Amino acid sequence: MKICSLLFSAVTLMWASVGWATPPFIETFTVVDDLFIVACDGFDVRTEAPTIITEKTFFNSSGDPVNFQASGRITESIYYNSSDASIFVTQGKNGVGENFFFMVDLITGEIVNAGGFFRLTLPGIGHVVMFMGVQKVDAEGNVVFNGLAAFPEGDTAAALCDALAN
């Protein structure tokens, strides 16, 4: 019996000495953005994409926010010619696969972006991916690591322009 009460006292004392952080604040919502992708000769390629966003704010034991994270899952996307919206490419609801993660260290100001931001299949070209990978930015806005890539290698922007030209 003494061992059980001693163990209970030790665990209680240990828990009391550890500062419990406030649980994270989590919010999920859907946005529909119209985003510029690339400038072409005479028009821009833009995308309209409904995206499910989940934001999480994490707190230290004093209740101060220390980290912010946002993740997004694009549920459908349309890439279109800004001069003639009837010229477009869409993934529909199948095979979109565009997901991203964004993290801000609220103490240091560092930002990490990761994921596959733009992905689609172009007729005669195949899969095109822009801005896939990881990028780290310091508190001053300087890119300290850029692992974002495009596929196929080469001029992915030109492939998009060709596919959506008049």
The predicted-structure confidence for 78-114, as pLDDT tens digits, reads as follows 888 899 988 888 765 554 557 788 899 999 999 998 8
Residue 166 is which amino acid? Answer: N
Domain of residue 76, residue span: 20-163
117: in domain:
yes
Q: Does residue 96 sit within a domain?
A: yes
pLDDT score, position 114: 86
Residue type, 14: M
Whether 10 is in a domain gets the answer: no
Quick check: is 11 in a domain? no
Give me the pLDDT at residue 70, please. Answer: 92
37 within 8 A of 46, measured Cβ to Cβ: yes
Asked whether residue 67 is domain-assigned, the answer is yes
Residue 15 lies in a domain: no
Q: Where are the alpha helices (DSSP H) in 18-89?
A: none
Residue 75 lies in a domain: yes
Q: To the nearest whole percent, how much of the chain has pLDDT over 90?
A: 29
Half-sphere exposure at residue 75, Cβ-oriented, CA atoms within 13 angstroms: 9
Element housing 31 (H / E): strand 25-39
Which pLDDT value is given to residue 13?
A: 38
Q: Which range among 12-16, 46-50, 148-152 has the greatest average pLDDT?
A: 46-50
- Number of structural domains (the chain) is 1
What does pLDDT average to over the chain?
A: 78
1 in a structural domain:
no
